[in-house]
Amino acid sequence: MSSATATHDGGSASAAGSSEAPNYLNHQKTIRSWLLTLDHKRIGVLYAVTLATVFLIAGLLAIAVRLELFMPGETIMSNDAYNQTFTMHGIMMVFLFIVPSIPAILGNFVLPMQLGAKDVAFPRLNLASWYVYMIGGALVVTALLVGSVDTGWTFYTPYSSSGSMSVLYMTLAIFIAGFSSIFTGINFIVTIHKMRAPGLTWNRLPLFVWGLYATSIVMVLATPVIGITMILLFLERLLQIGIFDPALGGDPILFQHFFWFYSHPAVYIMILPAFGIISELMTAFSRQRIFGYKAIALSSVAIALLGFLVWGHHMFVSGQSAISGIVFSLITYLIGIPSGIKIFNWVATMYKGSVWLQTPMLYALSFLFLFTIGGLTGIMVGVLAVDVHLHDTYYVVGHFHYVMMGGTVIALLGGMHYWWPKITGKMYNETLGKIGAILIFIGFNATFFPQLILGARGMPRRYATYVEEFTFLHQVSTISSLVLAAGLFLVLGYMVHSLFWGEKATSNPWGAATLEWTMATSPPDPHNFTRTPIVTRGPYDFHLADEVFGPRHVGDGAGDGATSEPALPRETEST
């Protein structure tokens, strides 16, 4: 690591240096101890491995989609194979990857530590959520083996209620995986309310916690709706009850209302924790307080609530009434404002700070760039008259990839690099990290920006083939997607490499000021902290963080601004 690390971490050298100190990774080593663990950190790692696998598979499917689109006509697969490929890409990425991603991996690992707690409120429920997720994942694989699902991830009726029966396995899988989300959401809400360390008031919560709190509200309130919708689809198919299928007297538009009533808030499930990560990165690597703490914290909650009132903007040309369209368009704009405020706040955070361009910060800056494009193209598709032209084209595909991948996945990557030393106790290679971040940034833009142009020029989405005039832009997009993939594989490579050969991480390599850095070793103790933290300042009050920077440095685990407090005797800590 660079010299900055060493300077800011003098006090923790003893902890990091002593390999015999038990940590959560080495205090138990059996497979059984992993599979039955109640430790939020280990569950976070279980999720990390699982979700990385899902991301790899769904990502390879995306490459297959891009390769098929390299030329008009049949390139590498038939129409049916293509339709199944993009469907599986969508279902796996949305329901099995992005929705759980940040909360399940980093939320699980970091949230209790940022709160100064020993674990989440319900550790067994936490483990159960992983098993429920795995059952959902197994059902998706079953659906694949039993037959072909080619409905798109949106399952629009009546197409989904007339095709192959394997759709039933898929809907059941989503129903079950939904419970995993609900469990995590409840767990986080209770944990944040009840398990904050002494002195950790709501105004001192790190913004990642606020992001997870807002997400959890949406998870708990919205996920049941997709569950109910999937059950209705299931019942219609199995018992021939007419709900959505017009042939049975149902209404296909009703399905779209139900579906988007969940799936739009789900967009906020995906992006709100990402906002939280960006707040952490911008402050830690600017060493400056966040610009507008309350505006960012409360706008997350505002977005979470308003997010329930905009689902109809997916349906401007579906046949819903013009009045609905107008109301949904207006509310959509209201929700755009808080997101805009956040962007400006993050940029302003660097003002008179000390900006350190390490890999996590490169991801944060690339998030600001990509998410701004995602947001502005979102404003475009919210303009009613223009959306009529852009709806269901590649413009929308480009837009939501800028938000979901340029937003959530980039933030997740930034967060993984940031907390990697804490999670694994190892440093990744910083040079390769920077190369990877830049490759991904370039590859991403060159893949998805041409898609915005394609869409505006009239290329409809979900097309296995296309008319000649779109060939050039599709080829640019396909070639660039390989650059993007190369960047992601590079990250996978040096991350795995660092597990075995990486430099040992110190407890606070970035000089951050939240509890998981100031109070815990890397990797942390099985119980997170060796004494209960006492919080006397805000999460980004770097000028008060004497235990990180100040002359009165008293060593690792001294506490978050607790240097003026009498140290608690070790015996009193709860076990």
Partner 1 sequence: MGNSNGTVWLPEGASTVASEIDWLFYFVTWTSLAIMLLVVGGLIYLAYTYRRRSADDAPQPIKESKLLEISWVVIPTILVLLVFTWGFQGYLKLTVAPPNAYEIQATAFSWGWSFDYPNGASSNNLHVPVDRPVKVNMSSEDVLHSLFIPAFRVKQDVLPDRYSSVWFEATREGEYHLFCSEYCGTQHAEMIATVHVHSQTDFNEWLADAAMDEDIPLPELGERLFGQQGCQQCHSIDGTSGIGPTMQGLYMNDRLLQSGETVTADENYLRQMIIEPTAQVVEGYPAGVMPSYARLSEREINALVAYIKELE
Helix, coil or strand: residue 460: strand
Structure token digits, residue 307: 């997010």
Q: Which residue's CB is nearer to partner 1, number 23 or number 541?
A: 541
The nearest distance, CB 58 to partner 1, in angstroms, is 19
Q: Which residue's CB is nearer to partner 1, number 325 or number 407?
A: 325
Residues 6+ apart with CB under 8 A from 472: none
Instruction: Evaluate the CA torsion angle 13, 16, 21, 24 in order and state its sign.
Output: positive
Give whole-number Cα distances, 176 to 81, 129, 189, in Å.
26, 10, 21
Structure token digits, residue 309: 């009132």
Q: Which residue's CB is nearer to partner 1, number 467 or number 567?
A: 467
Q: How far apart are CA 244 and CA 566, in angstroms?
A: 65
The nearest distance, CB 373 to partner 1, in angstroms, is 7
| DSSP run (H or E) holding 426 | strand 426-427
Query: Hey, what long-range contacts does 290-294 have (CB within 8 A, 24 or more apart)?
Result: 290/207, 290/345, 290/346, 290/349, 290/540, 291/345, 291/346, 291/348, 291/349, 291/351, 292/341, 292/345, 292/348, 293/203, 293/207, 293/538, 293/540, 294/203
The nearest distance, CB 275 to partner 1, in angstroms, is 15
**373, 375, 379, 382: CA torsion to nearest 10:** 120
The nearest distance, CB 318 to partner 1, in angstroms, is 5
Q: Which residue's CB is nearer to partner 1, number 145 or number 322?
A: 322
Q: Which residue's CB is nearer to partner 1, number 54 or number 331?
A: 331
Between helix 322-349 and helix 359-382 the angle, nearest 10°, is 160
Q: Which residue's CB is nearer to partner 1, number 347 or number 442?
A: 347
The nearest distance, CB 78 to partner 1, in angstroms, is 9
The nearest distance, CB 164 to partner 1, in angstroms, is 9
Q: Which residue's CB is nearer to partner 1, number 146 or number 341?
A: 341
Q: Which residue's CB is nearer to partner 1, number 239 or number 322?
A: 322
319 burial type by CB count under 10 A (0-12 exposed, 13-18 middle, 19+ buried): exposed
The nearest distance, CB 337 to partner 1, in angstroms, is 6
The nearest distance, CB 273 to partner 1, in angstroms, is 22
The nearest distance, CB 352 to partner 1, in angstroms, is 5
Residues 6+ apart with CB under 8 A from 541: 289, 513, 561
The nearest distance, CB 486 to partner 1, in angstroms, is 25
Q: Which residue's CB is nearer to partner 1, number 2 or number 33?
A: 2
| Residue 177: closest CA among 51, 74, 296 | 51
**Cis (ω within 30 of 0) for the bond into 158?**
yes
Give whole-number Cα distances, 224 to 239, 263, 302, 436, in Å.
22, 11, 21, 38
